[in-house]
Amino acid sequence: MVLAAKIFKVNEETSLDVIFQKLRGFQEEEPCEISGESRRLATEIVGLKLEKDVLSGVLAKDFVLTKYYRGGEVQTLTTEEVPFYFKFFNGKIFLIVVAPTKPRGVKKLLANYVANKLSEIVFGRAGGIVETKIPHDTLRELHESNPRATKLIWFDDVDFPDVGKLALSGSALADTKLYHEYLEHGRVWYVVFEVGKREMVVGIARNCVITLFSKASVDEFKEFILEDIIPLVE
């Protein structure tokens, strides 16, 4: 199963204890109508748990799902449950949102929604939780520290005319001359590599979107991000 997560950081002075108190018991509802019937959509925080330097929970939100059926549209209610983790590290609080498997791009939008919603609950407005990044040089060092583990590299900010991105994969990764040539004309945006000690294949992008391509549980994926990726975040 493919899992994806995105890392944010808390941009306000606070603590895990305060965040816990603000999120505990949160629930709100909004009215909706499905096939002429009045219903209510709920958003709530469940499974909240504070342990040492990690606050974990799940944001559960009801949606109206529209599907095509025999020449028409059918609406039904569905609940999306998104795990999240606040981690205190090196004087900062980071937020990891684990998005369910979704079509390309949707998982990122869902993670952004959850980060903004948590910011509104805790701080009363959006902007208390903001995006963060992993520096180009850090992704470069990840590859160069163990080139054989790398499966794919994407470069962006490419200065070739009419070229937005460049990629190296397969046997081309062994061509160090081509790799260094690409570095002269762009920056490392995305790296897919094998984490031998965890038996995982993951993709890491500069905007802190982490994708798991191998078989692992949500807990195993979370531990990898908390222990191995958070220290890389700028």
What's the average model confidence in pLDDT over 101-114?
Answer: 66
What whole-number distance in Å separates Cα of residue 82 and Cα of residue 95? Answer: 13
Which helix (H) or strand (E) segment holds residue 177: the answer is helix 176-185
What's the average model confidence in pLDDT over 86-92?
Answer: 96
What whole-number distance in Å separates Cα of residue 86 and Cα of residue 168? Answer: 34
**In the prediction, which pLDDT does 1 show?**
59
Between 8 and 103, residue with greater pLDDT: 8
> CB of 86 within 8 A of CB of 74?
no
Locate the domains of the chain by residue range: 3-32+39-131, 136-206
Q: How confident is the model at residue 103 (pLDDT cuts 50, 70, 90)?
A: very low
Buried b (16+ CB within 10 A) or exposed e, 190-217: bbbbbeeebebbbbbbbebbbbbebebe
The reported pTM is 0.90
Query: What CATH number labels 3-32+39-131?
Result: 3.30.530
Residues 204-231 have pLDDT tens digits of 999 999 999 998 888 999 999 999 999 9
Residues 19-78 have pLDDT tens digits of 999 999 999 999 988 877 888 999 999 999 999 899 999 999 998 888 888 888 888 888
**In the prediction, which pLDDT does 175 show?**
79
**In the prediction, which pLDDT does 5 show?**
94
One DSSP character per residue, 118-157 reads HHHHHHSSTTSEEE----HHHHHHHHHH-GGGEEEEEEES
Q: How confident is the model at residue 108 (pLDDT cuts 50, 70, 90)?
A: low
Tell me, rounded to whole angstroms, the distance of Cα 46 from its chain centroid. Answer: 20
Mean pLDDT of the chain: 90
> CB of 169 within 8 A of CB of 151?
yes
**In the prediction, which pLDDT does 55 show?**
98
What whole-number distance in Å separates Cα of residue 208 and Cα of residue 205? Answer: 5
Tell me, rounded to whole angstroms, the distance of Cα 49 from its chain centroid. Answer: 20
| Dihedral, CA of residue 50, residue 120, residue 46 and residue 230, to nearest 10 | -50
